[in-house]
Amino acid sequence: MGRAKYNGRHQWRPYTSRIVGTPLMASAAVIVAILVSFARPAFAQTGGQFCVRAYEDRNGSTTRDANEPLLVRDVVVNLLDGDGVTVASGVLESSPTAAQGILCFQRLPAGQYSAVVTSADLTATTPTTFSAAVSETGQPVVVEFGAQRVSAAMPTAAPAAAQAFTQGDLVRVGVSVGGALFVMLGMVVLGLIFYAIFLRRPAPRSVGATSTGSMRPVRIDTTELEMGDTGKSKPVRP
């Protein structure tokens, strides 16, 4: 509390400190110190970085040309450590640097890492797995992933697919024709066997043939009976 002070006119007034702004300034200093303590990790970032830059490889040259735009979506990256264990995953459209086509993994311990890129709507024209060593104090590792839209990649793949389809058809037709010929040949053989066993008639034997194959004369009685009008037979003499 302030002390009462006599002003020489028989009036007393409360005494206040001349440093009126001291409490307010102290509070402001505390707030600034707190903000600085929270903001310091963002500016004093430690650890390495592994970044993937995605672009639309329209001509399929596997390298980015000046007229080829960057991709800003439809790209997923999984980051694996040296043991093949996934340590981080990211989607390009969720990256703060998606407008530059870049997806980065930050604050990584030094070591060997691999980035595996996948996309359901793009056809890759470059490798989809990139491996590199990350250093905590070195420059960020940046690899480039090129891809084409599925609609743009279809005309190139269509002739090969049509050729494969034609060859497959020829093989199937050949197998079918061969199978049909084999079945027909089997039916013919079976028909011949059936005919030889059941339908073929034996050749007639010659009358009077001897065991040696020569013919021998056979005597026949030439006596004939002549029927009369009475119905009785009578011998006929020559």
What are 12's strand-pairing partners? 6
Q: What is the pLDDT of residues 8-25, one digit of tens each?
A: 554 545 544 444 445 555
Higher pLDDT, 61 or 166: 61
Instruction: Report the pLDDT averaged over residues 171-190.
Output: 85
pLDDT for res 31: 54
Query: What is the mean predicted confidence (pLDDT) over 39-53?
Result: 70
**Statement: 48-152 belongs to CATH 2.60.40.10:** yes
With b meaning 16 or more CB within 10 Å and e meaning fewer, what string describes 17-44? Answer: eeeeeeeeeeeeeeeeeeeeeeeeeeee
Whether residue 99 has pLDDT greater than 70: yes
Which has the minimum average pLDDT: 146-160, 166-180, 224-238?
224-238
Query: 51-89, pLDDT tens digit by residue?
Result: 999 999 999 999 999 999 999 999 999 999 999 999 999
pLDDT tens sequence across 116-150: 999 999 999 999 999 999 998 878 999 999 999 88
Q: Would the pLDDT of 103 be above 50?
A: yes
From residue 119, give the alpha-carbon distance in Å to each of 55, 65, 75, 92, 147: 13, 21, 5, 10, 9
Confidence of residue 229 (pLDDT cuts 50, 70, 90): low
CA 178 – CA 18 distance, rounded (Å):
114
Which of 227 and 107 is assigned the larger pLDDT? 107
The first and second tokens of residue 60, run together, are 């399929």
Domain ranges within the chain, ordered by starting residue: 4-43, 48-152
Q: What is the pLDDT of residues 191-220, one digit of tens each?
A: 888 777 877 666 666 555 555 555 555 555
In this predicted structure, the answer to whether residue 227 has a pLDDT above a threshold of 70 is no
Residue 17, pLDDT score: 46
